[in-house]
Structure 1
Amino acid sequence: MITGIGLDMIELDRIRRLDERSPKFRTRVLTPAELVDYNGLAGRRRTEFLAGRFAAKEAFAKAMGTGIGVHCSFQSIQVLRGENGRPRIYFNEQERGFVSITHTKGFAAAQVVLET
């Protein structure tokens, strides 16, 4: 049974500017394991990765019905590559639901579906 659906979309330029302004932004959004993947990328691909993870975490928090805050933080949500590169979403280290991330020239978007 589906218990929540979340969708988020973010401008790549906005994420790029935030990331260039302060490395604290990426360490606030990405977990240590996600930072390893981020650091293995270069240029535009880094921005797409960071924006995609940001959108996925926002979509997850919306699906949970909490938003990002005390009960659901960027660090408690983790998106890692699974088999064949498929993203897998974890909350407090437990796999939860399904996530899809996409990019265009100017945007990143993510959808999360939670089920019991």
Structure 2
Amino acid sequence: MIVGIGVDNIELTRIEKALTHPRFIEKVLRPNEKAKYESFDTEVRKIEFLAGRWAAKEAFSKAIGLGIGSDLHFLDLEIINNELGNPSFLNPPFVGNVQLSISHSRLEATAIVILEKV
């Protein structure tokens, strides 16, 4: 049974602007995510990756009904990719199935999260 759906969309220019703040990456990405971010060769790909992670974590917070804030932080969530590149949350603060999809375009990143109780 679906108990939560969250969607988030972010313009890549907003992420690019946020990167001017000294600790922005450390506030959004866990260490393994940061290592993957740093492995990309181009700034464009780094911004796409970061925007996708931002959107996914925001979408999760909306699906669970908390929003990012005092009860849930970006660093409470970590996203990994399987061998096919499909993203998923690693040990999310939810008991049940968590479905995640992230999409990028030249201008924005969008993520959807579906929470299911089993």
User: Which TM-score applies when normalising by structure 1?
Assistant: 0.92
Alignment of 1:36-47 (within 5 A): 36-41=35-40, 42-47=42-47
Equivalent residues of 1:56, 1:109 under 8 A apart: yes
CA distance in 2, matches of 1:31, 1:15: 17
Amino acid at match of 2:77: I
109 and 44 in structure 1: CA distance in 2 versus 1, 3 angstrom threshold: same
Q: In the alignment, which residue of structure 1 is the partner of 2:23?
A: 24
CA distance in 1, matches of 2:52, 2:38: 15
Q: In the alignment, which residue of structure 1 is the partner of 2:79?
A: 79
Equivalent residues of 1:5, 1:114 under 8 A apart: yes
How far off is 1:70 after superposition?
A: 2.1
Matched residue of 1:98: which SS?
strand
Amino acid at match of 2:39: G
RMSD of aligned alpha carbons: 1.8
How far off is 1:72 after superposition?
A: 1.3
Matched residue of 1:84: which SS?
coil
Structure 2: where are the runs of 5+ without partners?
none
Aligned length, in residue pairs: 115
How far off is 1:93 after superposition?
A: 9.7
Equivalent residues of 1:9, 1:108 under 8 A apart: yes
Equivalent residues of 1:2, 1:113 under 8 A apart: yes
User: Which TM-score applies when normalising by structure 2?
Assistant: 0.90
CA distance in 2, matches of 1:89, 1:101: 12
3 and 34 in structure 1: CA distance in 2 versus 1, 3 angstrom threshold: same
Amino acid at match of 1:7: V
Equivalent residues of 1:52, 1:109 under 8 A apart: yes
107 and 55 in structure 1: CA distance in 2 versus 1, 3 angstrom threshold: same
Matched residue of 2:56: which SS?
helix
How far off is 1:95 after superposition?
A: 8.3
Structure 1: where are the runs of 5+ without partners?
none
User: CA-to-partner distance for each residue in 1:77-114, whole Å, 9 max, x for gaps?
Assistant: 11111131100113259885011000111110000001
CA distance in 1, matches of 2:102, 2:96: 16
Percentage identity across aligned positions? 43
